[in-house]
Amino acid sequence: MRTIFELLQHAYPNDTENDTNKLIQRAKAGEVNLGIIWERVCSEHLGFDRLRPNAAWMDHKDGSDSKFASVVRMNNRRNASNCFQATFSTRNKIGYLRICMWNPITDLLYYMLVPYEYYVKFKGNPMKITFQAFNPKGVHWDQYQCDFKTVTGKVADNSKQVYNTNIRQLNGKFIAQA
């Protein structure tokens, strides 16, 4: 799936073309949470029942988390006026990130599948993907770009190991503070 239109048609197959276009306009106005739709599409392709929205640590039973972001203009004096960015939180995540980025100007979608071992070094800080000339650039993109089939495919489930390690670390902090 290359466009937001195709993704929404997949998510809502009974909607008319006109309904889908209205939904896109509402999304561009910030009135629709496309992240919830992305979670649903991923769950359907994975064959898992959906976890409750905003479940702690993960969106899917395999420990992975669906992330959706719109590409927005960067408000930074050092960057050229045509520099854009998509930003994702890595805080409290324990498995693969299934990332979908939407460029509202071109209506194109871009996908990444990022393993925990890579983003854990950010220590909860956001992961940022820069767009120049409407295309993603940078080391994150170069390493983990993929297609729709890959981003919605099965991955190794290391969530229990990571979750247990994180809980032990948190318990250690609370015990040390007591």
Q: Which residue has the tokens 């949470």?
A: 33
**Does pLDDT of 144 surpass 90?**
yes
pTM here is 0.83
End-to-end CA distance of the chain: 52
Q: By 3-state DSSP, what share of the chain in percent is helix, strand and coil, each rounded to 5?
A: 40, 20, 40
**Does pLDDT of 133 surpass 50?**
yes
Sign (positive/negative) of CA torsion 25, 29, 32, 35? positive
Mean pLDDT of 164-177: 53
Poorest-pLDDT segment among 61-75, 130-144, 152-166: 152-166
Mean pLDDT of 122-140: 90
Q: pLDDT value at position 57?
A: 67
φ, ψ of residue 166 in degrees (nearest 5) = -65, -40
Structure tokens at 98: 């299934």
pLDDT tens, residue by residue, 36-82: 899 889 989 988 776 666 666 678 888 888 999 999 887 766 656 67
Q: Determine if residue 124 is left, alpha or beta; phi over 0 gives left, psi from -120 to 50 gives alpha, anything else beta.
A: left
Angle, vertex CA 48, rays to CA 44 and CA 54, nearest 5: 90
Q: Which residues neighbour 163 within 8 Å (Cβ) at sequence distance 6 or greater?
A: 57, 63, 94
Mean pLDDT of 131-140: 90
